[in-house]
Amino acid sequence: MNVADDPRLHAVAAAHPQPLLFATISGAHLYGFPSPDSDYDLRGVHVLGLEQVVGLQRGPETIERMAPESGLDLDLVTHDVAKFVRLMIKPNGYVLEQLFSPLVVRTTAHHAELCALGRRCVTSRHVGHYLGFATTQWKLFRKEVAPRVKPLLYVYRVLLTGIHLLRTGEVQANLGVLNREAKLSHVDELIARKTTGAEKGLLPAADLAFHEREYERLVGELKAAAESSPLSRESSAGPALHDFLLRVRLGERRG
């Protein structure tokens, strides 16, 4: 069964306290390396009513819930549509990965429209997001006394997603799919270890020097991809996103 078809996830989305424009699965399931004991990362966009954004009593821009829900180990985060579109323009690759996630739990006509606008938000400036994210993930990986496979996979996932985006304009977050192009045998081996083992599987210390060289090499590839990228530096979607937000906010929530 496709993980997005799990009726428990649909029940969680249906019970959300605000109308949802969309809800998709992110995290290890989206990245293509969930362990048998991985939790579920549900991400999405909710729509605050007009009275919740113009009155004194403001609605929540972000709703987070990290607790077992209907038998799920669930991490739920949704942003109000205004915050989400601001992040799309910023630019922020993370929200685009959520928007374009193929693991869809809840969708609407406005979700499809936002995807079309999201394609116009992909720019060469996303190199900053992926370089910064990769640097943070690498530091987290190297801080561990007993290095784990999971954070190392996150490093490779971020770098290969950024390289692919800058070269093609496509937002692809699945590491297995990305590695069909990159052809890194050690990445396939790491994915196999993660998906068949436990969430906290350890990495042999002897492998660290090799992965550090690979990290530095891929950072170089990411920078080179930005320099030769065919993408525009600025998004052209600002005015259209402004119009989209007004229409959604004023009540066009059908879908």
- pLDDT tens digit string along 128-145? 999 999 999 999 999 988
For residue 179, what pLDDT band results from cuts at 50, 70 and 90?
very high
Helices (H), 79-204: 81-89, 93-99, 109-119, 126-143, 149-168, 175-182, 185-196
Return the structure tokens found at 105.
Answer: 């739990």
pLDDT greater than 60 at residue 253: no
d(CA 244, CA 130): 27
pLDDT of residue 70: 64
pLDDT of residue 255: 39
Q: Which amino acid is at 218?
A: L
pLDDT 10s digits, 67-79: 666 678 899 999 9
pLDDT 10s digits, 144-162: 888 889 999 999 999 999 9
pLDDT 10s digits, 73-116: 899 999 999 999 999 999 999 999 999 999 999 999 999 999 99
Mean pLDDT of the chain: 92
pLDDT greater than 50 at residue 254: no
Give the β-pairing of 40-46 and 104-106: unpaired
Are the beta carbons of 101 and 249 closer than 8 angstroms? no
Q: What's the half-sphere exposure (Cβ side, CA atoms, 13 Å) at 25?
A: 24
pLDDT 10s digits, 225-248: 999 999 999 999 999 999 999 999
d(CA 179, CA 156): 10
Q: Please report, rounded to a whole number, the percentage of residues in the chain having pLDDT higher than 90.
A: 80
Q: In angstroms, what CA-CA distances link 115 with 59, 97, 158, 227?
A: 25, 11, 21, 26
For residue 206, what pLDDT band results from cuts at 50, 70 and 90?
confident
Alpha carbon 134 to chain centroid, angstroms: 14
pLDDT greater than 80 at residue 22: yes
Are the beta carbons of 81 and 249 closer than 8 angstroms? yes
pLDDT of residue 73: 87
pLDDT 10s digits, 167-178: 999 999 999 999
Return the structure tokens found at 72.
Answer: 């799920």
Query: Which residues are CB-neighbours of 26 under 8 A, at least 6 positions away?
Result: 41, 42, 43, 97, 98, 101, 173
pLDDT greater than 90 at residue 251: no
For the chain, domains (ranges, CATH) are: 3-121+235-249 (3.30.460.10), 126-227 (no CATH)
Give the β-pairing of 40-46 and 72-80: parallel
Return the structure tokens found at 195.
Answer: 């998906």
